[in-house]
Chains A and B, each alone.
Chain A
Amino acid sequence: MSRAVVTVVGEDRVGIVARVSSALAENGVNIEDISQTIMQDLFTMMMLVTVDESRIPIGDLQKRLAQVGGKMGVHITVQHEDLFRFMHRI
């Protein structure tokens, strides 16, 4: 199992959390932690998730969520957590 960070940035509207969460559930992705805030007037949500890469590799999950985000006009990225650990922790 791999841990990844899902980031959603865009204009706030009804149903963002619901749609992203259901897309994650459809792919067997478990949400471990979630936080959301408004930064620079934009809705910003970050999720720490666990991905079974034998079921869906992180790259494919990124493509799937990009489609979901595209329909709602929000930008979604999925990146393995190690990227952030490496960059921001000594």
Chain B
Amino acid sequence: MFINPEEILETIEMIEEQALDIRTITLGVSLRSCADPDGKRLCQKIYDRVTSAARKLVPVADGLSAKYGIPIVNKRVAVTAIAEVAEASDLSDYLPVARALDEAAAATGVDFIGGFSALVHKGITPGDERLISSIPRSLAQTKKVCSSVNVATSKAGVNMDAILRMASVVKKTAELTSENDGVGCAKLVIFANIPEDNPFMAGAYHGSGQPDIAVNVGISGPGVVRAVVERYREADLTQLSEIIKKSSFKITRVGELIGREAARLLGAEMGAIDLSLAPTPTPGDSVAGILEAMGLEKTGAPGTTAALALLNDAVKKGGAMATSSTGGLSGAFIPISEDLGMIDAVESGALSLEKLEAMTAVCSVGLDMIIIPGETRVETIAGIIADEMAIAVVNRKCAGVRLIPTPNKSEGELAHFGDLLGFGPVIKVNSFSCSNFVTRGGRIPPPLTSLNN
């Protein structure tokens, strides 16, 4: 037989016991053709465009899942940044556009639709302004719409005015969705160096350098990596890196196979394979679980950043060998919700916000699904965002911040966001003020890229 029995059984074990799956197929759809001075016509064009482009997405994904016997968990759509599409319209508020996107998502059966977005790292246009003002009500009044705003790049620096603005948007969004512990904020990411082809929500949007329609795939394999790391307890760190690379290669090949097939069947271009380890609440399918299998008592213990650096690098090296279409976020996800090991680390006091921030310096995803006390001040939220943006800008990498100031909850309490977005504990926030710093506004200039010492 051309493939040996051990290899076949290894694949089946990965899928059935280690939760290997395709986390998402995300169809990037350009909405550039939808711009219209009439707001109603704009919304109709957007609805028609999304429902036509994504009509076959769910059946195609389900068909591939059956053919290869591998779960494809989420089907999503990412669109052109709405601030750019809607700016020419007579709408003063973009809530109707968010509704059109939500209806299109429901009609096509996709889980989420991303791209209620603006890029404001160097300044804000009238369309950006209207979009940002519309975010809280749009996220409160739609189910599937996700929003992202890019406030910093390594070329433009960090736009502190935009950060302060977004901090109040975060706060307002949490308040408008207080009955579900501020779930609106779980659909909002503030970015530095936002990727144009990211398949993962809530930060997916279809960037301006992308083709008309593209298929982007996010893989998920923390359970597989954890299992091999556990199997090789005696391996030194060099050997461990080799072992993780091999696993990552195999996981990524599945994404490559599904991506190619999906693109062919959907008449779209093959976009990016995102080499991220995306955890799920399934026991064992945890990034924290990998770090702990590497030898940490709990994630957050000294050594955590080093372990994560090794893991992230090995995943990328193995994945880069498996596909030439790397893109998206491509890093280890370390959300506090969705990952049972991370939840446990916070609850046991091993993992703090400051340690998480250090970890994001070596993995590209940023502060993800961080639940903070509802009473946290807007200026403090801005300070947390600014710190993360600075890390990303200086390191010339992407980072997103998804903070949830859960109304009426304080440190140690649990917040629940429903089936899709999980739950997690409220983490402690440093109570000293940064107000006089963040309210100065202006822009932190881009960093020098020479004199690297």
CB-based contact B8/A46 at 8 Å: yes
The reply to whether the CB of A48 lies closer than 8 angstroms to some CB of chain B is: yes
Give A46 to B64 CA distance when docked, in angstroms: 21
Q: How far is the CB of A52 from chain B (nearest CB, A)?
A: 14
| Given A39-B5, A84-B3; A79-B253 close (CB under 8 Å) | no
Q: Which of B67-75, B88-96, B179-187 contacts A (4 or more CB under 8 A)?
A: B67-75
Question: Contact partner of B11 among A57, A62, A87, CB < 8 A?
Answer: A87
Specify the chain B residue showing the minimal Cβ separation from A34: B1
Question: Contact partner of B68 among A46, A48, A83, A88, CB < 8 A?
Answer: A83
CB-based contact B257/A86 at 8 Å: yes
21 examples of A-B residue contacts, CB within 8 angstroms: A5-B8, A7-B8, A39-B5, A44-B9, A46-B5, A48-B2, A57-B66, A58-B67, A59-B67, A62-B66, A77-B12, A79-B67, A79-B69, A80-B68, A86-B257, A87-B250, A87-B253, A87-B254, A88-B7, A88-B250, A89-B3
Q: How far is the CB of A13 from chain B (nearest CB, A)?
A: 20
Contact with B along A14-50 (1 / 0, CB 8 A): 0000000000000000000101010100001010100
Kindly list chain B residues whose C-beta atoms are within 8 Å of the C-beta of A84: 3, 7-8, 11
Contact with A along B267-282 (1 / 0, CB 8 A): 0000000000000000
Kindly list chain B residues whose C-beta atoms are within 8 Å of the C-beta of A60: 66
The reply to whether the CB of B368 lies closer than 8 angstroms to some CB of chain A is: no
Contact with A along B1-24 (1 / 0, CB 8 A): 111010111111000000000000
Question: Contact partner of A7 among B2, B12, B63, B67, CB < 8 A?
Answer: B12
Kindly list chain B residues whose C-beta atoms are within 8 Å of the C-beta of A5: 3, 8
The reply to whether the CB of B256 lies closer than 8 angstroms to some CB of chain A is: yes
Specify the chain A residue showing the minimal Cβ separation from B321: A90
CB-based contact B1/A83 at 8 Å: no
The reply to whether the CB of A71 lies closer than 8 angstroms to some CB of chain B is: no
Specify the main secondary structure of chain B where it touches its partner: helix
Q: Which residues of B pack against A, CB within 8 Å?
A: 1-3, 5, 7-12, 63, 65-70, 250, 253-254, 256-257, 321
| Given A5-B3, A87-B250; A80-B67 close (CB under 8 Å) | yes
Given A7-B12, A46-B5, 12 further pairs, Cβ under 8 A: A5-B8, A33-B1, A35-B1, A39-B5, A57-B67, A59-B67, A62-B66, A77-B12, A82-B257, A86-B254, A88-B7, A90-B321
The reply to whether the CB of A78 lies closer than 8 angstroms to some CB of chain B is: yes
Question: Contact partner of B63 among A33, A39, A59, A79, CB < 8 A?
Answer: A59
Q: How far is the CB of B5 from chain A (nearest CB, A)?
A: 6
Kindly list chain A residues whose C-beta atoms are within 8 Å of the C-beta of B8: 5, 7, 46, 84
Give A79 to B15 CA distance when docked, in angstroms: 12
Task: Give the number of residue pairs across the A-B interface with Cβ within 8 Å.
Answer: 75
CB-based contact A35/B254 at 8 Å: no
Give A83 to B69 CA distance when docked, in angstroms: 9
Give A37 to B254 CA distance when docked, in angstroms: 26
Kindly list chain A residues whose C-beta atoms are within 8 Å of the C-beta of B250: 87-88
CB-based contact A44/B257 at 8 Å: no
Q: How far is the CB of A48 from chain B (nearest CB, A)?
A: 6
Most buried by B among A33, A48, A80, A82: A80
Q: How far is the CB of B190 from chain A (nearest CB, A)?
A: 36
Most buried by B among A44, A57, A58, A87: A87
Give A7 to B66 CA distance when docked, in angstroms: 15
Give A35 to B1 CA distance when docked, in angstroms: 8
Q: How far is the CB of A3 from chain B (nearest CB, A)?
A: 9
CB-based contact A77/B69 at 8 Å: yes
Most buried by B among A37, A81, A85, A86: A86
Kindly list chain A residues whose C-beta atoms are within 8 Å of the C-beta of B11: 79, 83-84, 87-88
CB-based contact B5/A35 at 8 Å: yes
Chain A to chain B: the 5 pairs with minimum beta-carbon distance, closest first: A59-B66, A79-B69, A86-B257, A86-B253, A88-B7
Give A80 to B254 CA distance when docked, in angstroms: 12
Kindly list chain B residues whose C-beta atoms are within 8 Å of the C-beta of A7: 8-9, 12
CB-based contact A48/B1 at 8 Å: yes
| Given A59-B63, A77-B12, A82-B257; A37-B5 close (CB under 8 Å) | yes
Kindly list chain B residues whose C-beta atoms are within 8 Å of the C-beta of A33: 1
Q: How far is the CB of A40 from chain B (nearest CB, A)?
A: 9
Give A44 to B4 CA distance when docked, in angstroms: 12
Q: How far is the CB of B9 from chain A (nearest CB, A)?
A: 7
CB-based contact A44/B7 at 8 Å: no
CB-based contact B256/A86 at 8 Å: yes
Give A49 to B8 CA distance when docked, in angstroms: 14
Kindly list chain A residues whose C-beta atoms are within 8 Å of the C-beta of B257: 82-83, 86
Q: How far is the CB of B258 from chain A (nearest CB, A)?
A: 9
Give A78 to B12 CA distance when docked, in angstroms: 10
Q: How far is the CB of B13 from chain A (nearest CB, A)?
A: 10
Give A60 to B256 CA distance when docked, in angstroms: 24
Question: Contact partner of A58 among B5, B7, B66, B253, CB < 8 A?
Answer: B66
In the complex, chain A residues 63-86 whose Cβ is within 8 Å of any chain B Cβ: 77-86
